[in-house]
């Protein structure tokens, strides 16, 4: 077994892992340098794209609206979310030292789960904003006032913290005696649970319950919002009005299905159906690929953002 272990009494014949090994992309030894370059470029794209969105939403008065307030929060979240996993991936690829202490692994998982919960709720809040704007336009300024927007954003950021800290503590209270080799590029729930000794059915159930609360519930709220939005759009008298209303929602819908689709398959599948290759591929979508495309999706399909970006570039 790679890594240090502390031998427990022979009575229970269990050894507790003191560090893990993130196997990551070690099965592609000839591509380590190439992967380092690709992931570095992706990280730069994510940082630059999301920072630009935060900057223009702050500087352009035309974007001082609830929709863009939430978009700026979302861009900040994406930077934090990706920074939990990508720097570690780059470090492992560059140094080929894949060891990670149990504390570092638990910390990474905890922040990843907290920020993942924030993303689920923030996407639900953004869909609610679009619902109010399209279905109740006359009440929109009253309902989505600055205080309400700040409360919704704060709730999205902080509501998952106690639950995810509790879940992380629960997972890392287990003994890991099977191996310390994690078949993943970061400390995620499914591969960590695979390493645990004994019966983990209670812990798996808790993962499902938390996933239902923080993934399925926000997704149902989003579906409810968009079902009302679609009905309202179809009732609009002109094709131009329908196209304009739908254009304000299409970017958000694309992001929702990219993120929730891959995350739902990962966390709501039975443990027996998990395979390292598929898990890594799905995780790449919701941890790196989606955050990379989000600025492009929102900017290319939003005339206000394109106009603000053009004005910023012309000033410079």
CA atoms within 13 A on the CB side of 189: 29
Alpha carbons 38 and 24: distance in angstroms, whole number: 15
Alpha carbons 256 and 301: distance in angstroms, whole number: 15
Residue 44: CB atoms within 10 Å: 11
Residue 132 in contact with residue 211, Cβ under 8 Å?
no
Residue 121 in contact with residue 218, Cβ under 8 Å?
yes
Alpha carbons 90 and 92: distance in angstroms, whole number: 5
3-state helix, strand, coil in the chain (%, to 5): 75, 5, 20
Residue 90: name the closest of 12, 148, 25, 144 by CA: 25
Alpha carbons 186 and 148: distance in angstroms, whole number: 36
pLDDT for 308 equals 80
**Pair of tokens at residue 129:** 């904003």
Alpha carbons 172 and 182: distance in angstroms, whole number: 14
Domain boundaries, the chain: 18-315
pLDDT profile of the chain (316 residues), mean per 10: 41 61 87 93 93 90 90 94 94 92 93 94 93 90 94 94 92 82 88 83 85 88 91 81 72 81 70 66 82 80 78 73
Say yes or no: domain 18-315 is CATH 3.30.9.10.
no
Q: DSSP string of 154-199?
A: HHHHHTTHHHHHHHHHHHTTS---S-SEESSSS--HHHHHHT--S-
Residue 195 in contact with residue 179, Cβ under 8 Å?
yes
Give me the helix-helix angle, 102-135 and 217-234, nearest 10°.
Answer: 20
DSSP 272: G
pLDDT for 287 equals 86
Residue 110 in contact with residue 81, Cβ under 8 Å?
no
Alpha carbons 287 and 187: distance in angstroms, whole number: 12
Is pTM beyond 0.95? Reply is no
**Phi, then psi, of 159 in degrees rounded to 5:** -65, -30
pLDDT for 316 equals 59
Alpha carbons 131 and 120: distance in angstroms, whole number: 17
Residue 86 in contact with residue 40, Cβ under 8 Å?
no
């Amino acid at each position: 077994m790679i890594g240090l272990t502390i031998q427990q009494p022979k009575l229970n014949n269990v050894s507790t892992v003191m560090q893990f090994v993130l196997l990551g992309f070690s099965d592609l030894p000839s591509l380590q340098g190439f992967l380092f370059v690709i992931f570095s470029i992706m990280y730069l794209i994510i940082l630059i794209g999301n920072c630009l969105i935060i900057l223009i939403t702050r500087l352009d008065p035309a974007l001082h609206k609830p929709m863009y307030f939430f978009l700026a929060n979302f861009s900040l979240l994406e930077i934090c979310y990706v920074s939990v996993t990508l720097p570690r991936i780059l470090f492992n690829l560059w140094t080929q030292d894949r060891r990670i202490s149990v504390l570092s692994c638990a910390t990474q998982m905890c922040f990843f789960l907290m920020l993942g919960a924030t993303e689920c709720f923030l996407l639900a809040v953004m869909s609610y904003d679009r619902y109010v704007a399209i279905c109740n336009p006359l009440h929109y300024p009253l309902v989505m006032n600055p205080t309400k927007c700040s409360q919704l954003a704060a709730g999205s950021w902080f509501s998952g913290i106690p639950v995810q800290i509790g879940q992380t503590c629960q997972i890392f209270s287990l003994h890991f005696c099977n191996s310390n080799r994690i078949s993943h590029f970061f400390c995620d729930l499914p591969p960590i649970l695979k390493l645990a000794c004994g019966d983990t059915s209670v812990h798996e159930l808790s993962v499902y319950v938390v996933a239902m609360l923080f993934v399925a519930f926000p997704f149902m709220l989003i579906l409810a919002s968009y079902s009302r939005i679609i009905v309202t759009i179809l009732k609009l008298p002109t094709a131009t009005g329908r196209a304009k209303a739908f254009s304000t929602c299409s970017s958000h819908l694309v992001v929702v299905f990219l993120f929730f689709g891959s995350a739902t398959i990962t966390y709501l599948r039975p443990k027996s159906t998990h395979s390292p290759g598929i898990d890594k591929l799905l995780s790449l979508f919701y941890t790196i690929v989606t955050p990379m495309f989000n600025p492009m999706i929102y900017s290319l399909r939003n005339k206000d953002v394109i106009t603000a970006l053009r004005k910023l570039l012309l000033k410079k």
